A = this chain, B = another copy of it.
Amino acid sequence: MTFDLKDWSAERLDRTEQALSAWVPTNAPADLGDAMRYAVLDGGKRLRPLLVLGACEAVGGNAEAALRAGCAVELIHAYSLVHDDMPCMDNDVLRRGKPTVHVQFGEATALLAGDALQALAFELLTPADARIPEHTQARLCRLLALSAGHAGMAGGQAIDLAAVGKALTESELRHMHRLKTGALLQTSVMMGAACGEPDAQALAGLREYGAALGLAFQVVDDILDVTADSATLGKTAGKDAAQDKPTYVSLLGLARARAYASELLEQARAALRTTGLADTRALLALAEMVVHREN
């Protein structure tokens, strides 16, 4: 029987949206809650939560922990977009087809909403009353903190800032993207795994899968920035070139960038085979979706 990602995703996306809507506050002071909900709800592919849920299912982990972990990673992703779009960073006005948070709510509220979303991510991971062992909670916090901070996403953004207008080598570009986008995607997989107790072999395979998928995501992002239009992307197309940012396309050209994305998909597939896990079809289908997506 073939695996249908759309079928598999539908129920999980539904669960994720409901959880996010329940957990991102409606009653935060002033317009903070509105800005947080605007930044998170009704938008996004929810790739990271799906990776968490897929990895958790592959290792037979705690589903409630995975739902919280998936939402927590999504909040970190959402906050990074809010801050990234601000005038002092990318100064972008369009995101997921809507005005960006600072355009809608003002810069100060956008700054605070991003900050509060990061805190909320760790709040979701540490419920006092839920059926999630505290050692799982601690491990999830550890993984998320490491991938969001100076050695992960924030560090990658700092490299990105410093790289504008500079020529990077392929290895420098890869390092930047491993931190900036790859760390959080890989961590999504590892957080899903941390909801169960996989053996060392499975863990190593999942880590490799996550690394390949994370990099593939960015290579395809760079390709789409050139080949797609803003309406399809839901964000401003062509902005890498406009801002003179180094990308896989500027470095390798379009054809080689596409070949590299296919190669990374092969790496992800091979890594899944080494895990020894019985059913990794969802994770495989997610990697294929990342490489073949059109927005």
A108, B88: Cα distance in complex, Å: 5
Is the C-beta of A89 less than 8 angstroms from some C-beta in chain B?
yes
Instruction: Indicate which residue in B80, B107, B134, B154 contacts A32 across the interface (CB closer than 8 Å).
Output: B154
Is the C-beta of A86 less than 8 angstroms from some C-beta in chain B?
yes
In contact, B29 and A179 (Cβ under 8 angstroms): yes
In contact, B134 and A139 (Cβ under 8 angstroms): yes
A120, B151: Cα distance in complex, Å: 10
- A152 CB, min distance to chain B CBs, angstroms: 8
Size of A's binding interface in residues, CB under 8 A: 57
Identical chains bound together, number: 2
Residues in B with CB closer than 8 Å to A151 are: 25, 28
Q: A135-159, CB under 8 A of B: which get 1 and which 0?
A: 1011101101110111110111111
Is the C-beta of A242 less than 8 angstroms from some C-beta in chain B?
no
Is the C-beta of A188 less than 8 angstroms from some C-beta in chain B?
no
Smallest CB-CB separation from A83: which chain B residue?
B111
Residues in B with CB closer than 8 Å to A161 are: 30, 108-109, 112
A161, B89: Cα distance in complex, Å: 22
- The residues in A between 1 and 15 inclusive whose CB is less than 8 angstroms from any CB of B are none
- For the complex of A and B, 4 pairs with smallest distance between CB atoms: A119-B149, A88-B107, A126-B142, A32-B158
Interface residues of A (CB under 8 A from B): 25, 28-33, 36, 79-80, 83, 86, 88-89, 106-109, 111-112, 114-116, 118-123, 125-128, 134-135, 137-139, 141-142, 144-146, 148-152, 154-159, 161-162, 179
Other than A29-B158, A30-B162, A116-B150, give 9 A-B pairs with Cβ distance below 8 A.
A29-B156, A32-B154, A109-B161, A112-B158, A115-B154, A122-B122, A134-B139, A135-B135, A138-B141
